[in-house]
Amino acid sequence: MHEPRPSLMDLALRAQDAEQRRKLSYEGSFADYLALLEQRPALARNAFQRMVDMLEHFGCEPSRERGARRRWKLFDDPLGGGRDAVYGLDARLEELVATLRAAARGLGPERRVILLHGPVGSAKSTIVRLLKRGLEHHSRTDDGALYTFDWEIDGARIPSAMRQEPLLLLPREARAEVERRLNRDLGREWTLRIEGELDPVSRYWMGELMRRHCGDWSRVIEHVRVRRVVLSEEERLGIGTFQPKDEKNQDSTELTGDVNYRQLAEYGSDSDPRAFSFDGEFNVANRGLLEFIEVLKLDVAFLYDLLGASQEHAIKPRKFAQTSIDEVILGHTNEPEYRKLASNELMEAFRDRTIKIDVPYNLSVKDEARIYERTFHASRLNGRTLAPHALEMAALWAVLTRLEEPRQGGLSLVRKARLYDGESVPGHGPEMVAELRRQAPREGLGGVSPRYVQDRIAAALVGERTTVTALDILASLESGLSHSSLVSNEETRRRYAQLVGLVREEHEQLARDEVQAALAADGEALDRLCAKYVENVRAHATREKVPDAFGRPLAPDERLMRSIEEKLEIAEARRDDFRIELLNFVSQLQRDGRTFEWRSNRRLLRALEQKSFEDARDSIQLVTGGADVVDPEAREKLARLRTRLMRQFGYDELAADELLALVSSLLARIAPRARGLEAA
């Protein structure tokens, strides 16, 4: 008997974690909170310390990128299923984490604005978004718990206006001893510091209650209820965001709060903290993180507020004293805005209080391709198919636009990209990468944004074709240059178009290599070719004849032998010596009861593959011959080749045929040149 299907309400209730809800709803007295701190002193850490603990909560692993030791797993976007994962920036993210770690230890960066600087679309906003999301999640865990307090006065519940740390309720003369006690049991690389003062609302009620209880602090603190708080950007709890707008419609009250006119009528004065809304972005972000979007577009007056907040950890709400804040301030800006800042002498104070961390574009083709794979995953293509290497070629073009021409002779721009990608390049070792980067320190701060490439891939995918190849995407990238607002001048447009041509050449070589590899996968054909070569060499040495397919004796095929030997780089003058050495080697193996394993010789294997590829030209060129070509044997060879391309490299039938058509056209171009050389 089947169990009844649960209702939607049942499913919703099952998803609830009662124990988790109980923990998040914690409430206790101030004395209860001090008892908690006795057991877990780290609960009283500041915003920078909490940020570092959050990053360590997600952990790190050894980085695969040159120049970086670790990759912090938060930037794999574990909470979003990898949707916002950041690739190719491990070294920059490690620099950011090191800055936050120094700030957590109180070494200076905690009094600076951390500025992420880079071109548009380089993942600056994504990095901040992941930090926000990580803080939200961490504040829900036991390790990330943080607490604030409310006042209970005459039956009313009055929350701390800025969700402040309950330890700020301690009398100043008691703080040093409490700090020593907590740090003795902390066991962290940083120390706890009770810094700052109560916000104006709490300061008002502290004074009011001290008067009511004749200065007895122990009676005052009985009015305090400590509760757990969960950070949330949506609810504006501990995470704030500020974005520049029209200067005429924006003032500093958006940062520091404003008068609550509904309360003003009750309390009668705009200097009464009860008639003030501490809901500016600085207030909202207290205990967490404040993001400044395009921070350098702010009016100068806003920048002064920002400097005070970072340097003094305090803000100045209108008609109130300096108000303490505890938050990480992260801004981001693009290259033109930063150049304007650097050239403005009046902004020296801001530059002096800023830690700039460059966030360039990817210079790794593999990592750039991963960005596009995340966006154009097969599950999101609605029945369309991306052929193998389509995204890789788009990524290669994007990286080439960001690179500077290498100064080393013999190193092309494409080879430089391959070196940066960790590939081996003849004549240039991986140790050269550091020197190349030193010679071009601004690489990655210019070039094409991933957004442009994604837009052009999307344009190629909405056409009539169900299978989109690398050539389709390259054509889309090139055609989009003529009306892209990001391509600033005609010279840049021409350069980017030329780079499309370079990537096409790379794709053509890749197509030849894959067809050649598919041919090489026919092991029986290579066995026959090798056996035929050895048979002709033996007949040549013994001056005998070689039977053809019909048993007729023919002279050894000199053209066959030389075509393979030339690929082995055997000079004409050494051909006879080489053939005798080969026969002696094969004979010795036979006497020892062993078989000639030609596949173990990489040079011979490569030569046989190349010869097989040349012999298959006629079959491959059937693709352009269409139905007029009726040779059944050639068609069978072509069908086997298509099947191997699909099986080995993941092409569908249409993409495999187009690949063969491309290689066919390349061979058609090569053949006339080859015939001309033979005639000469």
- Tell me the sheet residues that pair with 121: none
What type of residue is 255?
A: L
Yes or no: say if 238 and 138 are a contact pair by the CB < 8 Å rule: no
Beta carbons within 8 Å of 181's beta carbon, 6+ residues apart: none
Tokens of 383: 């029945």
Tokens of 447: 């070039």
- The Cα-based distances of 596 to 542, 558, 576, 587, 600 in angstroms read 20, 22, 20, 9, 9
Tell me which range, 91-95, 480-484, 637-641, is most confidently predicted by mean pLDDT: 91-95
- Residue range 480-506: mean pLDDT, rounded: 89
pLDDT higher than 70, residue 386: yes
* C-alpha to C-alpha distance for 403 and 485, rounded to whole angstroms: 20
Yes or no: say if 207 and 104 are a contact pair by the CB < 8 Å rule: no
* C-alpha to C-alpha distance for 111 and 353, rounded to whole angstroms: 8
Q: For residue 40, what pLDDT is reported?
A: 94
Same domain, 50 and 190: yes
pLDDT band at 75, cuts 50/70/90? very high
Tell me which range, 473-477, 547-551, 646-650, is most confidently predicted by mean pLDDT: 473-477
> Is there a domain that residue 670 lies in?
no
Same domain, 350 and 369: no
What's the total number of domains in the chain? 3
Residue tagged 């004395």 (tokens): 31
Q: Which one-letter DSSP state was computed for residue 249?
A: G
Q: For residue 606, what pLDDT is reported?
A: 72
- Tell me the sheet residues that pair with 498: none
Tokens of 464: 């009539």
How crowded is residue 535: how many other Cβ atoms within 10 Å of its Cβ? 15
Same domain, 342 and 382: no
Q: Give alpha helix (H) positions in 380-522.
A: 390-402, 413-420, 432-439, 450-461, 470-480, 490-520
Rg (the chain; Cα; Å): 35
* C-alpha to C-alpha distance for 474 and 498, rounded to whole angstroms: 11
Same domain, 382 and 245: no
Burial class (CB in 10 A: 0-12, 13-18, 19+), 498: exposed
pLDDT higher than 70, residue 676: no
Per-chain mean pLDDT for the chain: 87
CA dihedral 441, 445, 448, 454 (to 10 degrees): 120
Beta carbons within 8 Å of 621's beta carbon, 6+ residues apart: 664, 667, 668
> Is there a domain that residue 6 lies in?
no
> Is there a domain that residue 663 lies in?
no
How crowded is residue 133: how many other Cβ atoms within 10 Å of its Cβ? 18
Same domain, 383 and 343: no
Same domain, 434 and 450: yes
Please report how the helices 470-480 and 490-520 are oriented relative to each other, as an axis angle in degrees rounded to 10.
Answer: 180
> Is there a domain that residue 617 lies in?
no
> Is there a domain that residue 457 lies in?
yes
pLDDT tens column, 47-63: 999 999 999 999 999 99
Among 582, 612, 642, the domain-final residue is 612
- The Cα-based distances of 114 to 10, 54, 285, 346 in angstroms read 47, 18, 15, 20
pLDDT tens column, 570-623: 888 888 888 888 888 888 888 888 877 766 666 777 777 777 766 666 556 555
**Range name among 229-233, 441-445, 618-622 with the lowest pLDDT average:** 618-622
Pairing of strands 224-229, 314-315: unpaired
* C-alpha to C-alpha distance for 343 and 118, rounded to whole angstroms: 17
Tell me which range, 206-220, 351-365, 398-412, 603-617, is most confidently predicted by mean pLDDT: 206-220
> Is there a domain that residue 513 lies in?
no
Q: Which one-letter DSSP state was computed for residue 385?
A: E
By percentage, how much of the chain surpasses pLDDT 90?
51
How crowded is residue 49: how many other Cβ atoms within 10 Å of its Cβ? 24
Among 581, 612, 643, the domain-final residue is 612
CB-side neighbour CA atoms (13 Å) of 240: 26
Q: For residue 627, what pLDDT is reported?
A: 45
> Is there a domain that residue 393 lies in?
yes
* C-alpha to C-alpha distance for 291 and 509, rounded to whole angstroms: 46
Same domain, 102 and 139: yes
> Is there a domain that residue 195 lies in?
yes
Same domain, 541 and 483: no
Q: For residue 618, what pLDDT is reported?
A: 56
pLDDT band at 93, cuts 50/70/90? very high
Beta carbons within 8 Å of 537's beta carbon, 6+ residues apart: 556, 561, 579, 582, 583
Contacts of 527-530 with CB under 8 Å at 24 or more apart are 529/608, 529/611, 529/612, 529/615, 530/598, 530/604, 530/608
Q: For residue 287, what pLDDT is reported?
A: 96
pLDDT tens column, 643-666: 888 988 899 989 988 888 888 787
Q: Give me the count of residues in the chain.
A: 680
pLDDT tens column, 136-155: 999 999 999 999 999 999 99
Q: For residue 678, what pLDDT is reported?
A: 43
Q: For residue 619, what pLDDT is reported?
A: 58
pLDDT tens column, 258-294: 998 888 888 888 889 999 999 999 999 999 999 999 8
Tokens of 434: 């550091």
Same domain, 348 and 370: no
Yes or no: say if 166 and 30 are a contact pair by the CB < 8 Å rule: yes
End-to-end CA gap in the chain: 88
Tokens of 429: 């070792």
Q: Give alpha helix (H) positions in 59-139.
A: 90-104, 124-138
CA dihedral 595, 600, 604, 609 (to 10 degrees): 110
Yes or no: say if 119 and 334 are a contact pair by the CB < 8 Å rule: yes
Among 329, 360, 391, the domain-final residue is 360
Same domain, 237 and 370: no
Same domain, 441 and 558: no
- Residue range 222-242: mean pLDDT, rounded: 96
Pairing of strands 156-159, 146-153: antiparallel
Same domain, 136 and 252: yes
- Residue 487 vs residue 133, higher pLDDT: 133
pLDDT tens column, 334-384: 888 888 877 777 678 888 889 999 999 999 999 999 999 988 988 788 888
**Range name among 436-445, 504-513, 634-643 with the lowest pLDDT average:** 634-643
Structural domain for 252, as ranges: 19-360
Q: What is the CATH number of the domain that holds 250?
A: 3.40.50.300
Yes or no: say if 222 and 149 are a contact pair by the CB < 8 Å rule: no
